[in-house]
Structure 1
């Protein structure tokens, strides 16, 4: 095994173990003691635990097994094996790890911080190459057979979970649990997409040579150039000129500086930005931390 493979393998294990510990902490210290719920298979497991008093560790493992089997066919067997190991370890963590259970009973704190720690855990596990909730696999499987998107399927399943919780437990608890799920979802996105938030910038300008030079020499950015044509106006549709379309990636904090730089060269330059979830490699400048 190559050293890079060992490094990646060790990193995946570290992410997964950290994710399991965070999820266990969210469940045992926040959600379960206060009868709160989450979405997905975890939400189903918590609901079964509250309604029928089943052992939560056993329920979470058993509830995820069908989706893990499904994942072996929908994703790959390596993913399914890693997910099964992670789910079993989460069950053991819930059963034997001595988490504190009396941190807070304030519903707002429980809904926010329970969701944050759950989101961190699930996000870290995904970075480690596995899942701690099989709902994504179910949505992927179902989405290939019906016209709904994966997000719509997950939303529909979660609506059912929270409606049952509202009728069987209480409406306020269900509403706070929705806040927990929302917080967890946003935290998962933050963890998966990385701490660095980048913006892709495309610049179309008649002064592209000067723009390219200043982006590289002043901002220290790598650039990619596409060959295109500009013009095609309503009153002169048949007239166009070749142009270099410049693309670069910067941090959000540098967007204003880049726009000012480009407009200083060409006030008529066309600039548009797009959000980049995660970027690595190339000439990327890390955002300064204070």
Structure 2
């Protein structure tokens, strides 16, 4: 029964992974490799070694990722490591045997669209529960032994890759590699999070009762109310009043509409937003589960 319940998710993960691998292979063989372009991360290391020593790229993809997959089996779990290994091997087979066409040799198009398709491929593979690029695993391993965040570690490692590229191939190639990596990383973010990424909105207003009613009755939002005080200005620090601090979660596409609604009630209301990495339960707008 449990296998039957998990079967749709298994099919979905498999489709995401296979599609991601094929698209990542397309980015490499149709854009980056024929034009001697580089990227960041473990993929960038593989491309760098391929360009410097002319070693087989398919084998490099496996060999360079293998240490990170082993680390991932300890940091995450063995299932994740095996899925990632299968994903990397499949990518290598695609690079070796699929007849990808060379699309363009225009540098800016290679950098932009190579990064775009590579980001789509890596993002889809991550939605399928595995990783094409093992740099994130290394960053997680390093983070547990230092005070740096994952983003800072990944940035630092990529700076080393780009410096090596600049020293060996020249500054222009390194700059294009940075552009490719930036496009790929932003695309990965959108593929994983979607355009409807959740955003937390906090509202402080003297007309909080009207705002609460509008959010719940007009937009159908779920809200949480904190009890607070407002005032404490420089010229009247001793003066404050009790207030309700309203918190709600909306999608990124709904933030502007919510702000307009709140400001129509109280133009002087204080609103601030922050990105939410993950949200579940409560009264949330439904979106596809990944």
Relative to the length of structure 1, the TM-score reads: 0.88
Whole-angstrom CA distance in 1 between matches of 2:142 and 2:256:
43
Whole-angstrom CA distance in 2 between matches of 1:216 and 1:21:
45
Q: What's the CA shift for 1:281? A: 5.5
Whole-angstrom CA distance in 1 between matches of 2:206 and 2:4:
48
Q: What's the CA shift for 1:133? A: 0.8
- 1:82 maps to what in 2? 83
User: Given that residues 196 and 278 in structure 1 are in contact (C-alpha distance below 8 angstroms), is that contact kept between their aligned partners in structure 2?
Assistant: no
Secondary structure of the residue that 1:246 maps to in structure 2? Answer: strand
- 2:274 maps to what in 1? 274
Q: What's the CA shift for 1:267? A: 4.2
Per-residue Cα deviation, 1:57-103 (whole angstroms, up to 9, x for no partner):
11110111111001111122121111111111111111111111x21
Secondary structure of the residue that 2:192 maps to in structure 1? Answer: helix
Whole-angstrom CA distance in 2 between matches of 1:163 and 1:257:
44
Whole-angstrom CA distance in 2 between matches of 1:237 and 1:3:
64
User: Given that residues 231 and 237 in structure 1 are in contact (C-alpha distance below 8 angstroms), is that contact kept between their aligned partners in structure 2?
Assistant: no
C-alpha distance 93-200 of structure 1, shift in aligned 2 (>3 A): same
- 1:200 maps to what in 2? 200
User: Given that residues 117 and 184 in structure 1 are in contact (C-alpha distance below 8 angstroms), is that contact kept between their aligned partners in structure 2?
Assistant: yes
Whole-angstrom CA distance in 2 between matches of 1:52 and 1:239:
70
Whole-angstrom CA distance in 2 between matches of 1:95 and 1:132:
16
Which has the higher mean CA deviation after the structures are superposed, 179-188 or 203-212? Answer: 203-212
C-alpha distance 158-263 of structure 1, shift in aligned 2 (>3 A): closer
How much is the aligned-residue C-alpha RMSD, in angstroms? 2.3
C-alpha distance 257-134 of structure 1, shift in aligned 2 (>3 A): closer
Q: What's the CA shift for 1:231? A: 3.4
User: Given that residues 198 and 250 in structure 1 are in contact (C-alpha distance below 8 angstroms), is that contact kept between their aligned partners in structure 2?
Assistant: yes
Q: What's the CA shift for 1:176? A: 1.2
Whole-angstrom CA distance in 1 between matches of 2:152 and 2:203:
35
User: Given that residues 25 and 99 in structure 1 are in contact (C-alpha distance below 8 angstroms), is that contact kept between their aligned partners in structure 2?
Assistant: yes
Residue-pair matches, total: 284
Structure 2 gaps, min length 5: none
Structure 1 gaps, min length 5: none
Q: What's the CA shift for 1:179? A: 1.0
C-alpha distance 144-196 of structure 1, shift in aligned 2 (>3 A): same
- 2:181 maps to what in 1? 181
C-alpha distance 172-256 of structure 1, shift in aligned 2 (>3 A): closer
Q: What's the CA shift for 1:22? A: 0.9
- 1:42 maps to what in 2? 43
User: Given that residues 194 and 278 in structure 1 are in contact (C-alpha distance below 8 angstroms), is that contact kept between their aligned partners in structure 2?
Assistant: no
Secondary structure of the residue that 1:181 maps to in structure 2? Answer: helix
Q: How does 1:114-193 map to 2 (within 5 A)?
A: 114-193=114-193
C-alpha distance 35-246 of structure 1, shift in aligned 2 (>3 A): same
User: Given that residues 123 and 192 in structure 1 are in contact (C-alpha distance below 8 angstroms), is that contact kept between their aligned partners in structure 2?
Assistant: yes
Whole-angstrom CA distance in 2 between matches of 1:171 and 1:245:
51
Secondary structure of the residue that 1:131 maps to in structure 2? Answer: coil
